[in-house]
Amino acid sequence: MSRGFVKEDDAQPAPLVPPRAALPPGTPNYVTPEGLEQLRAERTALEAARAAAEANHDNDTDRSHRLSLLNGRLALLAERIGGARVVDPRTQPAKEVRFGATVTLRTVRGGKAGFERTFTIVGVDEADVAAGKVGFVAPIARAILGAKLGQAVALPLGPSPEVVEVAGITYA
């Protein structure tokens, strides 16, 4: 159709679909069982939003833009779910930091001595620093993966590394 028959107000740019949390190339998408359930719940919510958008014919331009955005998000989510590798934290070695571990680190040197921080290593889609969940590809998680209980590890935090001791490891 010629542009002469389209109102300029009706022309909208293609929607920008926000990317999912980044995974380095070739890295499996590890998720906890809870993380997989979160992804499935997100898919259910997006499908419900798409059904509502399909049923709403108030403004066809807005409707098609919304549907394009929802379909793009669903496609990215389907790819993420399809590549998910579920790791049950309860199957991990109890005295070694692995995926799914809740780890307590105690500062030994390079920071406030005795300071403790606790977080859980989870999948990239589950990560939520405010909730104490760190993605397994985050620098702090990569620095301590494989460390044993009581082991000292250097964390690259700023100009000089901070040395921490793995003070606790639990799996739920």
**How many separate domains does the chain show?**
2
The average pLDDT across 88-97 equals 94
Q: Does residue 24 form part of some domain?
A: yes
Residue 6 lies in a domain: no
Cross-strand pairs, 166: 105
pLDDT, residue 11, reads: 56
Domain limit, last residue, from 86, 106, 136: 86
Indicate whether 11 belongs to any domain: no
Mean pLDDT of 45-63: 89
pLDDT per position as a tens digit, 114-167? 999 999 999 999 999 999 999 999 999 999 999 999 999 999 877 888 999 999
Location of structure tokens 């620093």: 129
| Residue that has been written with the tokens 């082991």 in this structure | 151
The percentage of the chain sitting over the pLDDT mark of 70, rounded to a whole number, equals 92
Query: Is residue 126 a part of any domain in this protein?
Result: yes
Which pLDDT tens digit goes with each residue over 28-50?
999 999 999 999 999 999 999 99
Q: Do residue 146 and residue 131 come from a single domain?
A: yes
- pLDDT higher than threshold 50 for residue 71: yes
Kindly report the CATH number assigned to the domain that includes residue 55.
1.10.287
Question: Is residue 38 a part of any domain in this protein?
Answer: yes
Q: What is the CATH number of the domain that holds 130?
A: 3.10.50.30
Model confidence at 1: pLDDT above 50: no
Q: What is the mean pLDDT of the chain?
A: 90
What is the pTM (predicted TM-score) of this model?
Answer: 0.83
State which residues form the domain around 43. 18-86
- Decide if 117 contacts 64 (C-beta within 8 A): no
- Domain-ending residue, one of 86, 118, 142: 86
